[in-house]
Amino acid sequence: MDAKDFRTHGHALVDWIAEYLEHSEKYPVLSRVKPGAIAAALPDHAPEQGEPFEAIMKDFERVLVPGLTHWNHPGFFAYFAITGSAPGVLADFLSAALNQQAMLWRTSPAATELEAVTLGWLRRLIGLPDAFEGVIYDTASIATMHAIVAAREAAIAGVRAKGLAGRSDVPRGRVYGSDQTHSSIDKAVIAIGLGHESLRKIPTDDRFSMRIDALADAVRQDRADGVLPIAVVPTVGTTSTTSIDPVPAIADLCAREHLWMHVDAAYGGVAAMLPSHAHVLAGVDRADSLVVNPHKWLFTPFDLSAFYCRRMDVVRAAFALTPEYLKTSEPAEVKNLMDTGIQLGRRFRSLKLWFILRSYGAEAIRAHVARHIQLAQTLASWVDAHPDFERLAPVPFSVVCFRWKPSGRSLTEPELDAANEKLIDLVNASGDTFMAHTRLRGKLSLRIAIGHIRTEERHVRRAWDLIVENAARAVTSH
C-alpha cells in the first residue's frame, strides 16, 4: 500500500470511526450472532493474491461488525464499562504507525521517558507519593503477577536462582486476599508456582470488606503451621461490588509481619483524583506496590495498566537479565524497561495516556468520573425507592448491585435467582443495555457498572425502565 492509497483508505477509515464513535447506539450492545457464525462466514485459507482494501472493509462490516459487543455503546453496563476515547484512539493510531519497541532506552528514548512522565502525572493526580516508581504493563493480571513475584523474591532467599521445588529450606507460602479478590490473584499464584491453595481468601464483613481480625488470625495460624506468609493483596474497588478493603489496617499488619502489600486498585484507583474520593487510597502510601488501570476508568483504549512500586529494585532483582545482544553503553541512570518484567517487547502505550490527559485535562476527567459516581447514586436511589427491588451492596463508586424481590410475594431463594437471571437475559435482549450479574452471599445479583464517557442519565434510566418492565415477565416465564 503506497502513501497515496494509505491516505485514501486512512481518510475513509477516519470517517467510518467518527461515525461509529458518534452513533454506536444504533447497534445492539450485546452481539446477537450465534456461536460459530463468524468463523463459518470466512474462508479457511488466506488468499494467495492481495485484495482491495475496500473488499476487506466490506467484509469487516458484513461479517465482523454483527459480531461485536459494543464496549463503546453508552448502554454498556457490564463488567466494568470502559471507554476508548477519541484522543486515545488517535494516539493509538500514531503508536501503531511508529511501531516503537521500547525494550531498551535506546530502542525508544521517547517511549521510555514518556512512560515515566505520564506515570508521574497519573501518580500525582491520584495522590500517590513520588517514592512510587511506575511501569506500564498490558493488563492488571500481568502487573499483579509481577507484584507477587517481587513479594516472593523479597520473602524467599535464593528463589530467583533455585526456585521453590526440592528445597527443604522453603516452606509452603501464603498470599492473602479477600473472598472478593479478583481472579487474577488466583492465576498469579498458580502461574508462579506457589499453587492455588497458597491463596487464602479472608472473609469479608457486611460491606464486602476484608475482615482485618480474620486476616490477623490467618497469618498467625499460618505461622504456627509452618506456612510462610508472603503478601497481602487488598482491593480498592472489588469486581463484584467495588468494595474497599481496610488498607490502613492491612498496612499496619503488613509492616508488623513484614509482608508485601500489593493494592489492587485497577478499577477504584482513578476515583482518588476526586477530592471526595481521595480517601479510597488512604494507607496506600505504605503499599509496596499498586496497580491502577487507565484502560478501565481513564478513557484509555485497551490495553494500559499502570503498576507502581516503592521497591522496583526488587522487581528488577527478580527479572533483570541482559543477554549480550541487548547490552548497551548508556550511563547507569538510564532505565531499560525490559528490566522490570517478563515481557521484552513493549508498545508505545504511554502515548495514548499522554494524549488523553492533555486533551481532556484533569478537571474534565474528574468531572466525568464524578458524573459516573453520581449516576450510580441516582440508580441506587431508584432501586432503594422501589418496593420490588432490593439493593445488595453499598455503592462506593459507580457500580450498583441489586435484585428483583417483589414485595408481598414469597419466593424461595432459588426462585429469586432464576427470576433475576431470566430478567438479565430479557433486558440484554433489548439491545439497548448490556449488564452482567454477580453472586453475593449466595444471591444472584444484577450488576450495573457505569463508566462510559458518553453514558448519560437517559441511558441509565433506559436500563432501569427495562429492568422494571421485564421483572414481571421474568417471574411469569420462569
10 Å CB burial of residue 248 (0-12, 13-18, 19+) is middle
- Segment 327 to 356, residues that bind a copy of itself, using CB under 8 A: 330-331, 333-334, 342-345, 347, 351-352, 354-355
Residue 131 sits in the site that holds a copy of itself (CB under 8 A):
no
CA distance 131 to 134: 10
Residue 142 sits in the site that holds a copy of itself (CB under 8 A):
yes
How many CB atoms sit inside 10 A of residue 428's CB?
19
Q: Which residues pair with 263 in a beta bridge?
A: 290
CB of 279 to a copy of itself, least distance (A): 21
Three-state secondary structure readout of 196-238: HHHEEEECECCCCCECHHHHHHHHHHHHHCCCEEEEECCEECC
Residue 375 sits in the site that holds a copy of itself (CB under 8 A):
no
Q: Which of 204, 209, 239, 470 binds a copy of itself (CB under 8 A)?
A: 239
Nearest to 243 by CA among 420, 460, 440: 440
The window from 194-202, 211-219, 257-265, 465-473 that contacts a copy of itself (CB under 8 A) reads 194-202
Report DSSP state, residue 293.
-
Residue 182 sits in the site that holds a copy of itself (CB under 8 A):
yes
Q: Which of 127, 139, 411, 431 binds a copy of itself (CB under 8 A)?
A: 139
143/212 with CB nearer a copy of itself: 143
Stated length of the chain:
478
Residue 275 sits in the site that holds a copy of itself (CB under 8 A):
no
Cα–Cα–Cα angle for 13, 84, 180, rounded to 5 degrees: 150
178/249 with CB nearer a copy of itself: 178
CB of 461 to a copy of itself, least distance (A): 23
10 Å CB burial of residue 215 (0-12, 13-18, 19+) is buried
Q: Which of 131, 255, 278, 362 binds a copy of itself (CB under 8 A)?
A: 362
Residue 225 sits in the site that holds a copy of itself (CB under 8 A):
no
Could you give the residue ranges of the DSSP H alpha helices within 51-139? Answer: 53-59, 86-98, 109-125
- Segment 71 to 100, residues that bind a copy of itself, using CB under 8 A: 71-72, 78-79, 82-90, 92-94, 96-100
- Segment 24 to 63, residues that bind a copy of itself, using CB under 8 A: 30-31, 33, 35-39, 42, 44-51, 53, 55-56, 60, 63
CB of 285 to a copy of itself, least distance (A): 19
- Segment 413 to 432, residues that bind a copy of itself, using CB under 8 A: none
Count the residues of the shown chain that bind a copy of itself, applying the rule CB under 8 A: 163
CA distance 83 to 73: 9
SS3 category, 17: helix
10 Å CB burial of residue 372 (0-12, 13-18, 19+) is buried
Q: Which of 13, 131, 255, 278 binds a copy of itself (CB under 8 A)?
A: 13
Which helix (H) or strand (E) segment holds residue 1: the answer is: none
Q: Which of 26, 162, 258, 473 binds a copy of itself (CB under 8 A)?
A: 162
- Segment 435 to 464, residues that bind a copy of itself, using CB under 8 A: 436-439, 447
Residue 408 sits in the site that holds a copy of itself (CB under 8 A):
no
58/458 with CB nearer a copy of itself: 58
CB of 235 to a copy of itself, least distance (A): 13
Q: Which residues pair with 133 in a beta bridge?
A: 309
Tell me whether strands 228-232 and 260-264 are parallel, antiparallel or unpaired: parallel
Residue 295 sits in the site that holds a copy of itself (CB under 8 A):
yes
Q: Which of 25, 125, 382, 418 binds a copy of itself (CB under 8 A)?
A: 125
